[in-house]
Structure 1
Amino acid sequence: MSAKYRVLITDRAWPDCEVEKQELARVDAEVIEAPPEADEATLVECASGVDAIATCWAQVTQAVIDAAPDCKTIARLGIGLDNIDVAYATSLKIPVTNVPDYCIPEVADHAIGLMLASLRNIAFLNQQTKQGIYDLSAAPVPRRVSSLTLGLFGFGLTGQAVAERARAFGMQVIATNSSGNDYGTGTRMVSFEELLE
């Protein structure tokens, strides 16, 4: 007996779709997995007759959507929607969803970690130490983090989370975005040119 629904998972960053299969089975849905790095033609073939499409980064184009005339929803398994033809899906009254807060703390933590590693020359000094060299003068003198200004290009949820973390280190934070909106954070919004200065 076939399942009531069919759900295409176009691509994934995790090892397998066992969790998705178990959860979707609860609503009598079968998971169709596209092969890794599937091109548009392959996705069109996989999308044939599915009721829903879930995607990470694969391009969900008009052709892919057209291959699924019974499609009821397209879900982006992450924040952005750039890989989905949202306008076309909307014209067909197919809702497109995403996860607007996916991994924001993790990305913000990672950005701060990379910034600190760069400011403190951690990778360089670690490599030197592994080679048996202990010479602090081999790297530029690190600057006190609290004396610096961090400029953020874009100020969405992730940028706001980075700003909050940078302020905890005593940094001044400025940002630029197309709207000039600081979203109530008190962050000084500047032009792109001033940000680069």
Structure 2
Amino acid sequence: MSDSTQGGGLARLVVALDDGYASYDQEEAVLAAEGARFALRPCKRDPKRALDAAREADVVLVRESPLPREVIEGLSRCKAIVRYGIGVDNIDQVAASERRIMVANVPDYGTDEVSSQAVALALAVSRRLWLHDREVREGRWSTGVLQPMFRLRGRTLGLVGFGRIARMTLEKFAGFGFARVLVNDPRAELPEGVERADIDTLCAESDVISLHAPFNAQTRHLINAERIARMKPTAILVNTARGGLVHTDALYDALAARRILGAGLDVFEQEPPGIHKLFSLDNVVVSNHMGWYSEEAMRDLQRKTAEEAARVLRGEAPLNWLNRW
């Protein structure tokens, strides 16, 4: 779909900078009710194209495309930028605040899906599914041990961050019989039986480590060579949050040397990652940042993003306003 012409005479404009959804009927309906026109103008992650597309927009909707300072400073009438999703590391919030442009996200969608992806990746690594799938597809059949596997019952689960997704991940892991659950999140209220731990202790004592922290300057490479070196030989690292939380080269070195059991990754430092050396290893399971997806989650996300834009057009603050002043 190209630039929508429904309500072409309307003065107010909401521009989406990334395509990829099958339909934008929800955005068009929600925004038309506010007397605004919706336009889809894909910029293919090019900041210059983003500025050309959004210069006159009252609200900008964005997925992956970067919105650095030079784009934000060129927006002539923008009141808000709304992220289709949770992470906002592609938006210069400092520049937005200086221009009094509100930045909002949609944190309450896809919780079920991402938590299921985290569990699925952990199980795929634990049960060596990639290795055995390849064996069968290549015509080999062996009931012997290809690589060691270990049961999860009686072991330790570590959760880095304890927001919506981490809490649901814990709920889904509850039936696997973990003896201990460690959480690294200094502000979260923890349920009974869950232990708060610093990140070094969590890395050293957990058998499954699932990352659910936001990505920012403080959490970049939170899982670095030193912390990976603390991990058990039975450790499985799962990342469904942001690729930059993990030092990728350090993880590769540990996996290649089989110093930890394996890793399940839905996110990468650079996306798309190209043909990365990690992909040559048989103790890594990967997916293409699709943990958020189901048909239901996608519709929820589009509707909630449009509703945030509608609030701004009505003169209200968005529900999930991040750079408050």
1:105-143: CA deviations, max 9, x gaps? 111101101111111122222222233433132423432
Other-structure match for 1:102: 109
Q: What is the CA RMSD across the aligned residues, in angstroms?
A: 2.2
Q: Which residue of 1 aligns with 2:184?
A: 176
Percent identity over the alignment? 27
Report the structure number with the largest CA radius of gyration. 1
TM alignment of 1:26-175, pairs within 5 A: 26-171=33-178, 172-175=180-183
Q: Distance in 2 between matches of 1:38 and 1:142?
A: 42
**TM-score of the pair, normalised by structure 2:** 0.54
Quick one: higher RCO (CA 8 Å, sep 6+), 1 or 2?
2
Tell whether the 8 Å contact from 1:79 to 1:99 is kept in structure 2 after alignment.
yes
**May I ask how many residue pairs the two structures share in their alignment?**
195
Paired residue type of 2:102: P
| Higher alpha-carbon deviation: 117-126 or 132-141 | 132-141
2:191 to 185, 191, 194: 185
Local SS of the residue matching 1:173: strand
Distance 1:170 1:60, change over 3 A: same
TM-aligned CA distance change 1:163 to 1:107, over 3 Å: same
Displacement of 1:16 in angstroms is 4.7
Please tell me the residue identity of whatever aligns with 2:158. G
Structure 1 residues 59, 2: closer, same or farther in 2, change over 3 A?
same
Partner of 1:20: 27
For 2:55 and 2:137, how far apart are their aligned partners in 1? 54
Give 1:169 deviation, angstroms.
1.5
Query: Which AA in structure 2 matches 1:122?
Result: L
Question: Matched residues in 1 for 2:96 and 2:148: separation?
Answer: 54
Shift of 1:18: 4.2
Q: Retained in 2: the 8 A contact 1:34–1:42? A: no
Please give the per-residue CA displacement for 1:71-105, whole angstroms capped at 9, x wherever unaligned: 12211111122222223323333322111122121
Aligned equivalents of 2:90 and 2:121: distance in 1? 27
Unaligned runs of 5+ in 2: 1-7, 205-325
Q: Is the 8 A contact 2:18 2:64 kept in 1?
A: yes
Q: Deviations over 1:141-171 (max 9, x none)?
A: 4322212212223333222222222223212
- Taking the aligned partners of 1:63 and 1:31, their CA distance within structure 2 comes to 24
TM-score for both structures, normalised by structure 1: 0.85
**Structure 2 counterpart SS, 1:145:** coil
Structure 1, unaligned runs of 5 or more? none
Aligned-partner SS, 2:113: helix
Quote how far apart the aligned CAs of 1:37 are: 1.5
| CA distance in structure 2 between the partners assigned to 1:13 and 1:155 by the alignment | 30
**Is residue 181–residue 189 contact of structure 1 (8 Å, CA) maintained in 2?**
no
Distance in 2 separating the partners of 1:64 and 1:16: 27
